[in-house]
Amino acid sequence: MKIFKIAIIILFVFSQTIVVFANDNEKDSTQVTSHFTELDFSQNLDSLLRLWYVQQSLQTNDSGLVVSEFNDSIIPEFADSVYIKRLSELPVFMNLSFNSVVRNYINLYTQRKRDLVEVMLGLSQYYFPIFEQILDANGLPIELKYLPVIESALNPKAISRAGATGMWQFMYYTGKSYKLEINSIVDERRDPIKSTYAAVNYLKDLYNIYDDWVLAIAAYNCGAGNVNKAIRRSGGKRDYWEIYYHLPKETRGYVPAFIAATYVMNYYQEHNLSPRQIDLPIVTDTLIITEPLHFRQVADILKIPVRMIRDLNPQYRRDIIPAYSKSYSLTLPVQYTTQFIDLQDTIFAYKDSIFFDPNSVHKAPPKYKRYHPKAPSGNHAKLYYRVQSGDNLGFIASWYHVRTSDLRYWNRIRRNFIKSGQRLVIYVPKKNATHYKKINAMTYAQKQASVGKKVTISPKSTPKIKNTGNYVYYTVKYGDNLWDIAKKYPGVSNTDIIRLNNIENARKISPGQQIKIKSK
């Protein structure tokens, strides 16, 4: 009896442990789903609205794009057994498991993001044939075409928080290692065709490492290094669900999101979802461009919206095809390709000097020549003015009735800086030249009087030298500076005056101020 009681207690404790562990797992899986969903999938879905083709299509829909207000009678829900049966019947090569995490993503796609998923279904009619052809030609499972659904929501211009770009979300160095051109003008991570070829090669390399497509998909998201760490930490297990909790949180939601996307893309009708009609041209043609070309040249001549060209050629970042030393492709709706060929000379010549300035390559600083100021016109005479102590450009400009900006230009003056004794070039009307020639010989008061200003000199401002106490003092007059004052006293420098009078700013001395010059 005692042994039986102990067994019951142990069983009870063990069962409670299992319940707690299961609850913890359920809580953790919800956190993973929330992390991956809100920060990545929803962001990519919402960014679809910036595509021109999507905007054009939604404008034709009177209801607009609004998150669905649904009820249980319109949007069906199914038992887990239905989801399991449907996944098992899909003609796919890899194992598509079903669990609570996968179900959460199915609910996300079929309930919370219905309208946006319908837009994505519409885009799939254009992009999936591209993916399928390349995957099939390389012997990869066709269902890998659903990876861009969770990577970028089929948005070729998608950019993640980490900087991954394009439908297949290549990081910069990964894209470069798979021979994608990435620079300021061209980013082939955004090219649906070239990025798909690069993704195929990347997935091949990952599959060669793990010999398991589910692990290869996980490594596509977080890198082979993180998957290898998870395998080691799990004791060498190589099943995704057995290494699940050793993977980064984002990757824990990545594979379930892929399984759910595969389900929804095949069974959307059962959930009353229908592809939104997107006016992307199903039939396009590719032209090889061998000269530099701007999208505006094509748009203006062929009368195509430039945003249409951008959506069909997302790899060009600046609306420029830089075909200087190599050729590039241009994709257009098939009905415009014949027009382009017929009018290509006109297209390349249209505003070519505006979009591509041929002289910009040869621009260089002009050769240095001695500066010679020029008169405003032939009716002006050239005069010279000798700067005197106390002058400034504002005064001089007013005496000659010219602008200070002209004085600076004629004499290459920066920041209004002039010095005593400097000779300035001034242009005045010839008929008034005789009057302006007299200004050089005038006193400061006479110059000011010539423009209607009076100068009142107070007794304190009268320059005088006096001996007081143990020092020789000097009374500052208008226009004085320490350099000129120091020159009046042999053996005295402006630095001596500054030090003796504790002057902090040599420019801030005022008329009437008495300063010490030297000891008696």
Write the CB contacts of 90 (distance below 8 Å, at least 6 apart in sequence): 96, 143, 262, 263, 266
Active-site option among 77, 132, 143, 151: 151
- Rounded to an integer, the average pLDDT of 196-206 is 97
Q: What is the pLDDT of residue 8?
A: 38
Q: What is the pLDDT of residue 71?
A: 45
What is the CATH number for 508?
A: 3.10.350.10
Residue 198 falls within a domain, yes or no? yes
- Rounded to an integer, the average pLDDT of 225-231 is 95
Residue 364 falls within a domain, yes or no? no
Q: What is the pLDDT of residue 428?
A: 92
> In 3D, which of 313, 322, 140 has the Cα closest to residue 216?
140
Q: Mark whether 405 and 340 lie in a shared domain.
A: no
Q: With H, G, I as helix, E, B as strand and everything else as coil, classify residue 184.
A: coil
Residue with tokens 């995704």: 240
Residue 373 falls within a domain, yes or no? no
For the cut 70, the answer to whether the pLDDT of residue 33 exceeds it is no
Q: Mark whether 417 and 470 lie in a shared domain.
A: no
What's the burial of 306, exposed, middle or buried (CB within 10 Å: 0-12/13-18/19+)?
A: middle
Q: Determine the residue type at 240.
A: Y
Q: Mark whether 265 and 332 lie in a shared domain.
A: no
Q: Are 219 and 174 in contact (CB under 8 A)?
A: no
Q: Tell me which residue range forms the domain holding 513.
A: 459-519
Residue 277 falls within a domain, yes or no? no
**Virtual CA dihedral for 105, 107, 111, 115, nearest 10 degrees?**
30
Q: What is the pLDDT of residue 67?
A: 42
At which of 425, 450, 475 does a domain end? 450
Residue 412 falls within a domain, yes or no? yes
Q: What is the pLDDT of residue 468?
A: 52
The beta strand positions in 366-490, using DSSP E, are: 380-386, 423-429, 465-468, 471-475
Cross-strand pairs, 343: none
For the cut 70, the answer to whether the pLDDT of residue 18 exceeds it is no
Alpha helices in 211-318 (DSSP H): 213-222, 224-233, 249-267, 295-302, 306-312
Q: Mark whether 424 and 442 lie in a shared domain.
A: yes
For the cut 90, the answer to whether the pLDDT of residue 458 exceeds it is no
Q: Mark whether 142 and 221 lie in a shared domain.
A: yes
Overall domain count for the chain: 4
Mark whether 77 is an active-site residue: no
For the cut 50, the answer to whether the pLDDT of residue 213 exceeds it is yes
Buried b (16+ CB within 10 A) or exposed e, 185-205: ebbbbbbbbbbbbbbbebbee
Residue 265 falls within a domain, yes or no? yes
Model confidence at 52, pLDDT cuts 50, 70, 90, reads low
Which pLDDT tens digit goes with each residue over 278-308? 877 778 899 999 999 999 999 999 999 998 8
What is the CATH number for 225?
A: 1.10.530.10
Q: Mark whether 309 and 432 lie in a shared domain.
A: no
Q: Are 159 and 53 in contact (CB under 8 A)?
A: no
At which of 396, 419, 450 does a domain end? 450
Q: What is the pLDDT of residue 421?
A: 83
Q: With H, G, I as helix, E, B as strand and everything else as coil, classify residue 441.
A: helix
The lowest-confidence range among 79-88, 273-282, 323-332 is: 273-282
Question: To the nearest whole percent, how much of the chain has pLDDT over 90?
Answer: 45
Model confidence at 354, pLDDT cuts 50, 70, 90, reads confident
For the cut 70, the answer to whether the pLDDT of residue 4 exceeds it is no
Three-class HEC string of 186-235: EEHHHCHHHHHHHHHHHHHHHHHHHCCHHHHHHHHHHCHHHHHHHHHHCC
At which of 398, 422, 450 does a domain end? 450
pTM of the model: 0.62
Cross-strand pairs, 44: none
Q: Mark whether 432 and 481 lie in a shared domain.
A: no
d(CA 327, CA 352): 18
- Rounded to an integer, the average pLDDT of 72-81 is 79
Q: Treating both helix axes as pointing N-terminal to C-terminal, what angle do 80-89 and 249-267 enclose, rounded to 10 degrees?
A: 80
Phi-psi region of 293 (alpha: psi -120 to 50; beta: other; left: phi over 0): beta
Q: Mark whether 265 and 210 lie in a shared domain.
A: yes
Write the CB contacts of 413 (distance below 8 Å, at least 6 apart in sequence): 393, 407
Q: Mark whether 141 and 118 lie in a shared domain.
A: yes
Give me the chain's average pLDDT, please. Answer: 81
Q: Mark whether 465 and 497 lie in a shared domain.
A: yes
Residue 374 falls within a domain, yes or no? no
Model confidence at 40, pLDDT cuts 50, 70, 90, reads low
Q: Mark whether 469 and 421 lie in a shared domain.
A: no
Backbone dihedral angles phi then psi of residue 465, each to the nearest 5 degrees: -115, 130
- Rounded to an integer, the average pLDDT of 299-324 is 92
The lowest-confidence range among 56-65, 91-100, 465-474 is: 56-65
The lowest-confidence range among 266-275, 385-394, 492-501 is: 492-501
Q: Mark whether 54 and 77 lie in a shared domain.
A: yes
**Virtual CA dihedral for 383, 384, 390, 393, nearest 10 degrees?**
60
The lowest-confidence range among 129-133, 141-145, 273-277 is: 273-277
Residue 363 falls within a domain, yes or no? no
